[in-house]
Chain A
Amino acid sequence: QVQLVQSGAEVREPGASVRLSCKASQYTFTDFYIHWVRQAPGQGLEWMAMINPAGGSTSYTREFQGRLTVTRDTSTTTVYMELSSLKSDDTAVYYCARGRLPSAVTKSSWFDPWGQGTLLTVSS
């Protein structure tokens, strides 16, 4: 079945950077957008960014522009999210999720499936 497997938990100090990964399998990687969503402890879901794995085009929410970079490697069907200038407020679980509708149909879609999540802790 379609699956997204994320990298393991990370701990960083404030000011550092982190790169998280999301490996996709069991479908044509370049046919569907991958999204990043984060959830701070006890809080709701916050959409961060999306990437079209076919051409690598991206869209970021304003809050993260300038310190968030999403890339992909088509040879390994993996999407990466790099967040820089980390703050304690960036402590959260980060999820990747696949758009359900093909990217050729729409950029906007509901998400399914989701990765299992990666906990990022930012602390000195």
Chain B
Amino acid sequence: DIQMTQSPSTLSASVGDRITITCRASQSVSIWLAWYQQKPGKAPKLLIYKASSLETGVPSRFSGGGSGTEFTLTINSLQPDDFATYYCQQCKTYSPLSFGQGTRVEIK
């Protein structure tokens, strides 16, 4: 099984900040990585797929990077709507299609 590890678990930031979340895979997943945003009581929302492709309708302040085993999600100029929990997911191999443990972005 491929294990996904995110850091940090919690990130405190202010509106306007630039933040970066890291996701590491226990073995290479090439660029088969997705990022999701989840708000309380809601289903996850796709932000980024294939490591760096921005989903239609997602603001351009979100960007993804990396390949192999190390990936990043960057949010430039954090907005009030961005305070949420973010998950990475490897899509290289199924069974299981594993997620990171999540990173909660909270208001400083």
Q: Which residues of A contact B (CB under 8 A)?
A: 35, 37, 44-47, 50, 59-61, 95, 97, 100, 107-112, 114-117
Contacts and interface: CB of A to CB of B under 8 A. Distances in A.
B102 A110 contact: no
A46 B43 contact: no
A45 B94 contact: no
Q: Which of A45, A109, A112 has the most CB of B within 10 A?
A: A45
A48 B38 CA distance: 18
A107 B99 CA distance: 16
Main secondary structure of the interface of B (DSSP, over half): loop
Contacts of A108: 32, 91-94, 97
A85 to B, nearest CB: 20
B78 interface: no
A3 B97 CA distance: 21
A61 B94 CA distance: 9
Given A50-B94, A95-B43, A110 B89 contact: yes
Contacts of B92: 108
A45 B44 CA distance: 9
Interface string B80-97: 000000010101111111
Nearest to B50: A110
